[in-house]
Structure 1
Amino acid sequence: MKHLIAAALILGASTLALAQNPTADTAHKAHSEKSAKAKAKPSASRTEIKSTAKNMAAGVEAAEAALSPEELALADRVHTGRIPCELGAYVTVTADDKAPGYFNVVGKGFKYRMSPVASRTGALRLEDEKAGAVWIQIANKSMLMNQKLGQRLADECMSPEQAIVADSLRKNPAPSLLDAPATALAK
């Protein structure tokens, strides 16, 4: 749906641009009419064209910014704030006040504008499609990866909530999938 709206706005902009450019056959006639109109009153100006283009660009941005209810529900689960990571690094995740569901993820040497994406695994994912960056948040840690560069930018990042879960897992580790269930050992 977003792409359909964006395509319609782009088509409208190109039609407007073509309507503003006279062909070579009528260039002289248009020029003389334009100078006559300029003396009487200003016609469609560059300012109008620029304003129309800005409005269309705003429409495209609004179409891209629209998130589904499912994505907005995912956004409510994102941990925000200054999140410490391994090796003394940190990542700051802040909600974008102007666009609900979007987040700014900033750290040393990077800044991304991300939105939630549904995941099959249950992990919470934020993505910046243009930059190829992905923030993955699971129960006990988060990590930031740049898929285009093939690099992990931050790992072992833990919000206070994630630190509690990580501590709990250290004290009471989950059973391994390779271990036999206790009932099988009793036989």
Structure 2
Amino acid sequence: MNKFIVGACAGILSVAASQYATAQTTSTAKPAAKKKAPAKKKAAKKAAPVAAVQPEGVQWKCELGNELYIKGDMARDQIITMHWKGKNYQLPRQLTRTGADRYFDQKTGMDLVVIPSKSMLFDRNEGHRLADECQTAEMAAGAPAPTQAGALRAPAGLPLMMQDNAAPAPAPAPDASGSAAQPAKP
């Protein structure tokens, strides 16, 4: 049994040694060919200009001079197109518990969160915020974000931020006996 194991080990070592010797002789003969090929590839890459994707949609200006473009109806569409740093991203709508609109693509990690006053862009793959305080021109003038959550909650004709929550409730109407009706207890 021991002779078998020793013979197997010797066979494996001899095969490995022969492959190493073959690799040594072929690697010394081809270094000049390998050096020339990458130089040609680099020259070819420099000659071909990279065409940037033209932004489409509504411009959102962010802090630090960043900007993104959103194409699609945020109040209705389930997938919007976001243009960021020369690339277009397809972002599907996600359900949230907070009422904010969230568009997140698992593959690219792009995560756009929109609240009535601003939007924020995150890269979930890298784990950091890419842009903050993003607003359209209308939002900068005081209008709420054009989102589904905002459209569902806002009364007709009043933007979200313009609601008067401090107005007193109307007085209860008198009942048939002439006395004021008692408000229902919670």
Does the pair score TM above 0.5? no
Give TM-score scaled by structure 1 length: 0.41
Give TM-score scaled by structure 2 length: 0.42
- Give the structure with the higher percent helix: 1
Q: Which has the larger radius of gyration?
A: 2
